[in-house]
Structure 1
Amino acid sequence: MIEDDDRIRLSLVLALEDEGYAVSGVPTAEEGLELQRRSPADTVLVDLMLPGIDGFECIRQMRRTDDVPIVVISARDDTHDIVAALEAGADDYLVKPVAVKELTARLRALRRRARAVTPEAVPVLRFGELEILPEAGEVRRRGEPVAVTRTEFQLLCELADHPGRVLSRQQLLQRVWEYDGGDERLVDVHVGRLRQKIEDDSAAPQHLVTVRGLGYKLQR
């Protein structure tokens, strides 16, 4: 947990420990980045308003080498800030004050989102030059690996499981994030990030397309 407010950091650390989590709390992004390099955590919680490197840059730096799930916990509830944090690479966003029960529910959903890797031969889902190996947790484009986060991978797999079928934003929120209702910007930003990685032209996508008024579909 990267949070510069000592009171908030301590209270959340204690609350999460009461729920069975092992938590390390630090007050700066610099300390958090170093701690994640030395002793990788399963999930990172990060505030945006931090001394020195702010939360946005912290997320960007972490994303360069790590696909760990990142949850923003911030008092900033402006749409621009939420979208900017998700575009930087965050998987989820909670606005302070945070209810511990809601936070732990989000953490459990993040853990369930990861797919197991098996040594067996795995099926390949093909969409043109795009290959998705659901059980291996891999995405390839023209034979080259594509670096995606766990949430991006789960979103891609959900769409690939229903080729050519339109899934609404609310359906994707429920199936990927396990939210009954919620902020549809989570879906839109993650789709935008995926398009930048898997499309020749993210502004004119050929595979991950929008069906206006309905949602998104993955087509061959």
Structure 2
Amino acid sequence: MPVDIILPCLDERDALAAVLSRVPPHCRAIVVDNGSSDGSGEWAAAHGATVVDEPVRGFGSAAHRGLLAATADIVAFCDADGSLDLAELDRVCRPVIAGEADLVLGRRRPASGRAWPVHARVANAALTARLRALTGLTLRDLGPMRAARRADLLALGLTDRRSGYPLEMVLRASEAGWRIREVDVTYRPRIGRSKVTGTVRGTFSAVADMSRLLHEARA
């Protein structure tokens, strides 16, 4: 079954060659250029990806713009930094295609100690612990590689346009009674400089966005 892969992108030209080379043959890569200054969008378009522009900065802005641009029944999201292998996407999409799950997240399994900085791993663990306590879900990771049906995602009415978008997706899916699952995926050191998890400042900003959503959900 065809799958549209949404790849939010901000200055990831160095990583895109490796990322796009691993796109499964039945999938279409949609690179959402979120204001890159390194020619990421032009490079991706020249190498076969569908490219859409999202001038409003923010992970959620780019991810949702990709969702609106997608046309396949099944959509997937993935970071464009080379840390995740799109050749493993089938195991994430398979339960959705088979009707066994409504949302599947790839639980990151680091290939090395450099793949997942300690501060980012601790932040992820703390956020998922709060998520489990709030929803009863058994998730261990807010995995950036994930898949669901496009129409169902649009029906959730996601509004966050910053780093809270992935968490809001899980919260609203849980409220809607979705079947949410995890599958293991390999997590490698990213290519190039990180704007979020590789920096303490970026991680703090993401945690602040997600903490706000958790507080609102609890209220």
| TM-score normalised by length of structure 1 | 0.34
Larger radius of gyration: 1
In terms of fraction of residues, the more strand-rich structure is 2
